[in-house]
Chains A and B, each alone.
Chain A
Amino acid sequence: ILNVEQSPQSLHVQEGDSTNFTCSFPSSNFYALHWYRWETAKSPEALFVMTLNGDEKKKGRISATLNTKEGYSYLYIKGSQPEDSATYLCAFNNAGNMLTFGGGTRLMVKP
């Protein structure tokens, strides 16, 4: 059983705050690390797929970094907005395209 952990489980921030959360995963047999954003009543939406140690990816105010040697990835949101409220999921891929998901970080941004 692969252990993919996310912290914190939930997070409340004020609009305009910057925030970050963590995904930890096994450092052996790494293939890829995915980040998804899941808004209530919608489908999970892919944010990033990262494959190389040291990868940094950015989409608007959201960015992510990857450390495969120590087995962690950070997701950063700069200047949080209420529409950023969602559950952020990371998923570890160790072979082919099988994903093991973390429990998610539920972000709530207060206006």
Chain B
Amino acid sequence: GAGVSQSPSNKVTEKGKDVELRCDPISGHTALYWYRQSLGQGLEFLIYFQGNSAPDKSGLPSDRFSAERTGGSVSTLTIQRTQQEDSAVYLCASSLDRFRVNEQFFGPGTRLTVL
């Protein structure tokens, strides 16, 4: 069965440009999460979506970051006016239901490099 997929796998951009990262969760998973791992750091929570509820954006580091989830499936993380400190691996994960102890299934990540 298909796992979580992310695109692109690698993205190199210039400082100040906008980027969009895409995540396709596992079919039927209602919860979707975005994390990032900066060099030498642990996994940092960014945002999660649960069904049609309002997303929890408490982990977004600045208002340059936004995310949406269309139709309860595909999600896009947008970073506007990228900065060098945004360089990181961005991981998406999905799980069956946020209200149960379900393991999160991770995608392969998008490695973002801001020059």
Contacts and interface: CB of A to CB of B under 8 A. Distances in A.
A50 B42 CA distance: 21
Contact of A42 (B33, B44, B103, B108): B108
B101 A43 contact: no
Contacts of A41: 108
Nearest to A6: B42
Contacts, number: 60
A42 to B, nearest CB: 7
Interface size of A as a range: 20 to 34
Closest 4 CB pairs of A and B: A103-B42, A101-B43, A46-B103, A43-B106
Given A43-B3, A49-B101, A98-B45, 5 more contacts: A42-B108, A44-B106, A46-B105, A97-B101, A101-B44
